Amino acid sequence: MSSTITREKPDFAKLVHEVPHKPGVYLMRDRFNRVIYVGKARDLRKRVGSYFLPSKLAQADLKTRAMLAAVWDFETHTVQSEAESVLLEGKLIKEFRPRYNISFRDDKRFLLVKVDPTEEWPRFRLARFKKDDGARYFGPYAHAGALRQTLNFMRKKFGVLTFGRGSPTVRELKSSTYQVPVRLSDTTAEQYRERVAQACDFLEGHSRELIGLLEEEMRKAAEKLDFEKAAELRNMLEDLRRTTKPMRRFTRHSLPSAIDPVSDVQSLADALQLEKLPVVMECFDISNISTTHVVASMVCFRNGVPDKDNYRRYRIRTVAGQDDFASMAEVVRRRYARVLLEAREASPEAAEFSQEETVEGLRRLEGATSNSEHRRANIEPGNASPLATIFIRLPDLIIVDGGKGQLSSACKELQRLGLHELPIIGLAKEYEEIYRPGRTLPLQLPIESGALRLLQRIRDEAHRFANTYHQLLMKKRIGESILDDCPGVSQNRKNLLLRSFGSVSRLRKATIEEIAATEGIGSKLAEDVHRFLQRH
């Protein structure tokens, strides 16, 4: 700490020349490396450079002078637009709580748009918190006024409900707002859902054609000298562009920052006091959003960057219901039992490992196979050896997503496999606490440390990979379950239909004659299937 206190201030005039002319945010730090101010800028170089001009300091108020006197360093993060700089500024101020910031210090959050597809008549509503409740969320949005005007536009253009709850009220059924494209009172819940789907596509940014039509309408109004209408359309277009422009979601784990994988790996080794650098790391995550499909992911990072060729995904087989501990035990057992099996198949020497020397023995095999990928390309036909056909590698560090329970379950399985010497940690999400075997108290690393950022990147990637697989299975299950409920459709006939049309979505669009043309499906059953899919 003493070296930090006594170091001299850098030459800010030189550092400013390295700042780009782009929108973004800047962080001012004091001599203890604490963030004391966060600001946004349309042009980072101009904004940051203005702080260090002698004329600026002479005209500054007492608060600004005090802040500049305390500044020992600064950093910048570029974004894609000025609106994104507003979002990122708010996130950083809430995270670091700088003493020279006043705005965003309260708990105000940016607005989201929420629509719950499980409702009979889904409504678009404003929200400030994103919950794991099955609803779809759009945003966050930096311009609240533009967002509210966009919702008004959606209500009139798509005829969707934008407030209230439940089925449409008598007033809503009579309201002229909801008469596009047909009267709301003459619309079924299924037809209304099609409107909702169109509005969702619009919020996701699929609005180019619609905006083009409004631009053409604005030009025609201007040509007719109807400037009032043209100005109204111009303002509407501006609001729509602000709302539907793709916006990145800034979270604490995905803030733009200078990533140095090599440095972060070294920092992690130092923080965990590992005997060797964690060149290869494997991280496990469980996704159990529902009991229908509980899945797990294993992602691999090599030298601090994703090694996607070695990602693995699992469907939990032996666990009933939602049990993270047992699910973690199963996937760790399956992963490293497979590694041991492949090692023993690759070399007779591996079959002689005792439980006490499993790790040491596999490390010896690593040395024998470390260049196998290079040798594979140079092997002549008929000369391949078992070691040259498989790459055996134990990770230098295992990471499980979770706290003491998940870590304990994983450790028990490693001990049963004789891999108790492998370094392993658990990363608890809420407070980013690191749990280690045999240690009662968790380790907490500084938020700014490269070691923690590396762990967060690995954990978030494992979470993303698990959720992607879970969503894939859920979509497949939803599509299959619809046909399961169709009278007269057996498992064999369902397979024939799906093989012929590829998906339930395509089957729903098919005519009765096209369905009847499928082998094993008669005209009567084709008519029943067609009617069933139109109703469901």
What is the C-alpha to C-alpha distance for residues 351 and 371, in angstroms, rounded to an integer? 22
pLDDT tens per residue, range 231-280: 766 766 676 666 555 555 554 444 445 568 888 999 999 999 999 999 99
Distances, alpha carbon 124 to alpha carbons 146, 161, 173, 247, 373, in Å = 15, 6, 17, 19, 53
In this prediction, residue 383 carries a pLDDT of 41
Task: Compare 410 and 31 and report the one with higher pLDDT.
Answer: 410
pLDDT of 472 above 80:
no
Who has greater pLDDT, 475 or 114? Answer: 114
Task: Give CA separation, 309 vs 114, 296, 299, 471, in Å.
Answer: 36, 17, 9, 21
The percentage of residues in the chain with a pLDDT greater than 90, rounded to a whole number, is: 14
Q: What's 356's DSSP letter? A: G
Asked if residue 59 lies in contact with residue 237, where contact means CB atoms within 8 angstroms, the answer is: no
Query: pLDDT tier at 173 (50, 70, 90 boundaries)?
Result: confident
Contact 392, 342 (CB under 8 A): yes
Token pair in block for residue 112: 């989201």
- CA-to-CA distance for 245 and 87, rounded, in angstroms? 14
- Is pLDDT at 205 greater than 70 in this prediction? no
Model confidence at 448: pLDDT above 60? yes
Distance CA 187, CA 181 (A): 10
Chain centroid to CA 111: how far? 19
Place of tokens 């894609």: 80
**Does residue 363 contact residue 394 with C-beta atoms inside 8 Å?**
yes
Arithmetic mean of pLDDT, 438-446: 87
Q: Shortest CA distance to 263 belongs to which of 75, 29, 449?
A: 449
Reply yes or no on whether the pLDDT at 8 is more than 80.
no
d(CA 44, CA 74): 12
Residue-averaged pLDDT of the chain: 77
Residue 378 has pLDDT above 50, yes or no: no
pLDDT band at 229; cut points 50, 70, 90 = low
Q: Treating both helix axes as pointing N-terminal to C-terminal, what angle do 324-346 and 358-369 enclose, rounded to 10 degrees?
A: 60
Residue 302's pLDDT is 93
**Over the stretch 66-94, which tens digit does the pLDDT of each residue have?**
888 888 888 888 877 776 777 788 778 87
Q: Are strands 136-141 and 111-115 parallel, antiparallel or unpaired?
A: antiparallel
On the question of pLDDT at 24 being above 90, the answer is no
Listed by start position, the domains of the chain span 2-96, 111-244, 261-375+386-456, 485-535
**pTM for this prediction:** 0.44
Taking the C-alpha atoms of residue 190 and residue 533, their distance in angstroms, rounded to an integer, is 12
For β-strands 280-287 and 305-306, DSSP reports them as unpaired
Residue that wins the pLDDT comparison between 381 and 324: 324
Burial class, 444, CB count within 10 angstroms (exposed 0-12 / middle 13-18 / buried 19+): exposed
- Where b means 16+ CB within 10 Å and e means fewer, 386-401 reads ebbeebbbbbbbbbbb
User: Sorting pLDDT into bands at 50, 70 and 90, what band is 33?
Assistant: confident
Spatial contact of 29 and 75, defined as CB atoms under 8 Å apart? yes
Q: Which residues pair with 281 in a beta bridge?
A: 301, 397
d(CA 191, CA 178): 13
Sign of the Cα torsion 261, 266, 271, 277 reads positive
Q: Which residue has the tokens 């697989």?
A: 469
249 close to 140: Cβ distance less than 8 angstroms: yes
CB-based contact 296:331 (threshold 8 Å)? yes
Q: What's the Cα-to-Cα distance from 320 to each of 20, 100, 325, 327, rounded to whole Å? A: 54, 53, 12, 9
Query: Per the structure block, which two tokens stand in for 501?
Result: 């049309």
**Up-side HSE of residue 104: CA atoms within 13 Å toward CB?**
23
Share of the chain above pLDDT 70, in %: 75
pLDDT of residue 289: 56
By C-alpha distance, which of 350, 247, 271, 339 is closest to 300? 339
Q: Which tens digit of pLDDT belongs to each residue from 393-408?
A: 789 999 999 888 999 9
How much is the average pLDDT of 302-320? 87
Selected from 1.25.40.10, 1.10.150.20, 1.10.1740.10, 2.40.30.10, the CATH number assigned to the domain covering 485-535 reads: 1.10.150.20
Cross-strand pairs, 296: 286, 314
Q: Which residue has the higher pLDDT, 10 or 401?
A: 401
Q: Is 25 helix (H, G, I), strand (E, B) or coil?
A: strand
Would you place residue 107 in the very low, low, confident or very high pLDDT band (cuts 50, 70, 90)?
very low
Of the candidate CATH numbers 3.30.420.340, 3.50.50.60, 3.40.50.2000, 2.60.40.2130, the domain formed by 261-375+386-456 belongs to 3.30.420.340
Nearest Cα to Cα of residue 339 among 295, 296, 393, 389: 393
Span 2-96: which CATH code? 3.40.1440.10
Angle 208-223/227-244 helices, nearest 10 degrees? 160
pLDDT in tens, 113-146: 888 888 888 888 888 777 777 788 887 776 777 7
Which pLDDT band, with edges at 50, 70 and 90, does 390 fall under? very low
How many of the other CB atoms lie within 10 Å of CB of 332?
A: 26
pLDDT at 6 (0 to 100): 46
> 127: Cβ–Cβ under 8 A, 6 or more apart, which residues?
111, 112, 113, 114, 137
CA-to-CA separations, 335 to 105, 296, 322, 392, 403, in angstroms, rounded: 46, 11, 20, 13, 20
List the one residue out of 302, 320, 322, 321 whose CA is nearest residue 311.
Answer: 302
